[in-house]
Amino acid sequence: MLNKSIFVLFFIGFISGIANAQLTDLFRLEYSFIPKSKSQDQYTRLRALFNYPIKIKESDYLVFGAEYNRVILNLEDTYPFETSGLNTIHIIDFNLGYTFKWNENWRFGFKVNPRIASTLTRSITNDDIFINGGVYFVTDRMDDTSLKHPYRLVLGLTYNATTGLPFPLPFISYTREINEHWEYNLGVPKSSLKYNINNKHVLLSFVGLDGYLAHLQRPTIVNGQEVDHISLSVMVGGAGYQYFFTEHIMGYMYSGYSFRLNNVLRNDNRDEIYKLDDRNAFYLRTGIKYKF
């Protein structure tokens, strides 16, 4: 049987479309919705992903995966520039990872994550392509019956070209079981508190980061300056419900409110030129997934 820590290494999202993905997803379909406060504008995202592990040796695995996000910006308000080129944003990720057992307690892995993030109104250019990746160490004792409070710890470094920072950022995620019903996770980009009612029904509260940066293939002139990038960063908190149809197939719905929202048009240096939205708003995310 495959160890869950193998999948934990590769299904960590660091603000890649939505960063709130569970760590053990093999397949997922998802719908997200954020209406703009006091406006007719709306943000909608459709998402699909899969990951496939291949056993190389007894404890070595190669993992292939892909993810597609279609972001739809329904900009119905009046703006001092043409918005037709901003209606649809495509974010396509390809994942390639490798993991092996470092020692008795730790597993090491790395992944390379080429991304296309663009309006895709023309042929793909170098400006549409971003290279992300990371290295991770995992110790997973969630199934250790000798522990009173089983836990999982993930430590790593991640590089994300869309952040604009020329150096990797630390990653940490700590999950701990309190008892048979309660479990919490502390980390970035997501922290949560979960209550397992039974093996079918789960309630949870969460706080997390979300966002993207994409290239505009048809630059727009705003306030006399050319903008060719668009970005969204948002911090959300709320509550959710999960229903397990089987041991591995789960439906879910999360609802909440954004604490911080910033939707911005940027120039080639990624300087802020025009703020599309910064008002906090309602947040809804629902979908179905197959998890290990």
Does residue 25 have a pLDDT over 70? Answer: yes
* H or E stretch at 7: helix 4-8
Residue 14 pLDDT grade (very low, low, confident, very high; cuts 50, 70, 90): very low
Residue 165: how many CB atoms within 10 A of its CB?
10
pLDDT at 23: 46
**C-alpha distances in Å from residue 57, one per residue of 34, 194, 266:** 45, 35, 46
Span 188-198, average pLDDT: 92
Structure confidence at residue 253 as a pLDDT band (50, 70, 90): very high
pLDDT at 80 over 90: no
Q: Model pTM?
A: 0.87
What value does the mean pLDDT take over residues 117-123?
94
At 258, the pLDDT band (50, 70, 90 cuts) reads: confident
- pLDDT, tens digit, 9 for 90 and up, residues 135-191: 999 998 988 888 999 999 999 898 888 766 667 888 889 999 999 999 999 988 789
pLDDT bucket at 18, cuts 50 / 70 / 90: very low
Region 246-250 average pLDDT: 93
pLDDT of 168 reads: 83
User: What is the pLDDT averaged over residues 94-102?
Assistant: 91
The mean pLDDT of 71-98, rounded to a whole number, is 87
pLDDT of residue 240: 97
What percent of the chain lies above the pLDDT cut of 70? Answer: 89
Q: At 36, give phi and psi (nearest 5°).
A: -80, 130
Tell whether the model's pLDDT for residue 81 goes beyond 80: yes
pLDDT for 197 beyond 50:
yes
Q: Is 111 helix (H, G, I), strand (E, B) or coil?
A: strand
Interatomic CA distance for residues 128 and 279, integer angstroms: 28
Our measurement of the distance from residue 116's CA atom to the centroid of its chain's CA atoms, rounded to an integer in Å, reads 15
